[in-house]
Amino acid sequence: MSARNIGSTGRRSSEWLGDGGKAGFIARHHLRQEGLASRQLDGRPVIGIANTWSELTPCNAHLRTLADSVRRGIQTAGGLALEFPVLSIGEPFMRPSSMLYRNMMAMELEELCRANPLDAVVVLTGCDKTTPAALMALASVDIPSIILTGGPMLNGRFRGRVVGSGTDIWRMTEALRAGEIDAAEFTEFESCLNRSAGHCMTMGTASTMASLTEALGMQLPGAAALPAVDSRRAVLAEDTGVRAVELAEEGLRPSAIMTREAVENALVVSAACGGSTNAVLHMLAIAGRLGVPLTLDDIDEVSRRVPLLVDLMPSGRFLMEEFAYAGGVPALMRELGDLLHTEAITVTGRPLAESIAAARNDGPEVIRPLRNPVQPAGSGTAVLRGNLAPDGAVIKVSAADPALLSHTGPALVFDSVAEYHAVADDPDLDVTADTVLIVRNCGPKGYPGMPEVGNLPLPRKLLEQGVRDLVRISDARMSGTAYGACVLHVAPESAAGGPLGLVRTGDLVRLDVPGRRLDMLVPDDELATREAETTPTLPPAERGWTRLHIEHVLQADRGVDLDFLVGSSGDAPAGTPF
């Protein structure tokens, strides 16, 4: 390649590869080291494939193959594909909590996109935190980009019935503890649940965030629900690669897609599909990166007016396979109609209305019409406030026992999850079906990393009595696959001096979901005395990411992002150009 053929194309990559002097030589000759020919370096758009593949993240283990299909699409459309790894955040193994690392992945992906000669990027995600981390990063760097989620697993099958990841684990675990099944049956169930590649096939956090990514306009229509092993996902991957090249040429950026209207569309879809409570945290964080105003009250307002239309576990009967075959997110969005901003532009470059115009609902039992919802408006994620949660807390109404949504009972308080687990099976534990179980020091700072422990296992003595739900309150999260009358994300958390640290065993606690209240029935002067006598404690963190996280993490009502990562910096590399 001669200097006269190199000239600038107006693309980001030309600032690296288009230079006719030493800087361009260094960039190009290292690509030749990978076996690339001159024709591949002659001004074609450079498209990154950011891959969260990892064998430590089983839900993402198939993304290596999916990346090949994306590459094929990029090359077909005349682009140069360069794949690179990104931190992979997996739910099964990471301790103390995968949430501790969401912001780390977001920061890494943002910086990699900014620092390298990329004209556009495709991000391959799957497991719970990888998708919101990608959206946060892309919002901050604002490079032309598109996401492809890896797709859900096939339905689990156990003894002639369909079983769902997460949701049926909690049910079977409780049955084992109650003595209703034995260890052999439990092990057999374990071998039947995850039958293919892909993320959880319930409407857990992975499926929720995949659906919301599509609703935000950041992945191609139909991509959220199609099973991971369906051959049509490889076609979607190729189409995604083609579209990435087009995005590089068009210059369509995430900031033009993820607008306030798109964020509202995502919230409507979350309510309509019974989305995970974790989506609240992630959407707050994404909005913070975008500079789009969003509060817990905005989320509650959407929940109050949008009914539950998708009949999926943990709030319903079906799984993602049925959702996909019914028509997936496009069919759901068409059913939602005027509840959406259909003029919003998606990654296709066209208004949402065009993307869903031809969508069909082929499973009206799975995706209900507005006139026949699974549950009425107000059954999504409710936001509670009161003297136990002055900055807010959330509860997934559709997954709770309706009888517990208005409840007053005595608190049984534990300062850690371990402290509760140590006595959960004690037959002498002073607990009844009226008890309000409280576990604290599980928030963003206090654990650290806000683990998914809010769906606390019920005391064994209650399980043996046939009790299957109990009011549980914590500053933790819970899996999107879980269910129960679990009040989560209490803010401020106890480790940050929140009033959850002041409640005592025996205090009466009142949960009033219709009134959106969460209160401990303790006089204000007594609470003031307790506050003066209470010193919150943080976990030890002397170095590394954990220390950075504890020092800078925001509370749940602000999305648990790091304070210095809120907002965007654009795609210009740091420092002075050379």
Q: Which domains does the chain have, with CATH numbers?
A: 1-43 (no CATH), 44-155+195-356 (3.40.50.2300), 157-193 (no CATH), 381-533 (3.50.30.80)
Question: Residue 576: what pLDDT?
Answer: 60
Residue carrying the six token digits 């959850």: 500
Percent helix, strand and coil across the chain, each rounded to 5? 40, 15, 45
8 A C-beta contact, residue 223 and residue 212: no
Residues in the chain with pLDDT < 70? 1-9, 576-578
- CA distance to 148, 227, 278, per residue, from 223 (Å): 7, 9, 21
Gyration radius of the chain's alpha carbons: 24
Question: Residue 384: what pLDDT?
Answer: 98
Question: Residue 257: what pLDDT?
Answer: 98
Distance between the two ends of the chain, CA-based, in angstroms? 22
**The two structure tokens encoding residue 82:** 């360069």
Beta-carbon contacts of residue 540 (< 8 Å; ≥ 6 apart): none
Q: Which of 99, 100, 121 is nearest to 110 (CA)?
A: 121
SS3 of 204, please?
coil
8 A C-beta contact, residue 282 and residue 208: no
Question: Residue 9: what pLDDT?
Answer: 63
List, in sequence order, the alpha helices (H) in 346-413.
Answer: 352-356
CA 194 – CA 91 distance, rounded (Å): 14
CA 68 – CA 83 distance, rounded (Å): 10
Question: Residue 293: what pLDDT?
Answer: 97
Torsion-angle region of residue 498: left (phi > 0), alpha (psi -120 to 50) or beta?
beta
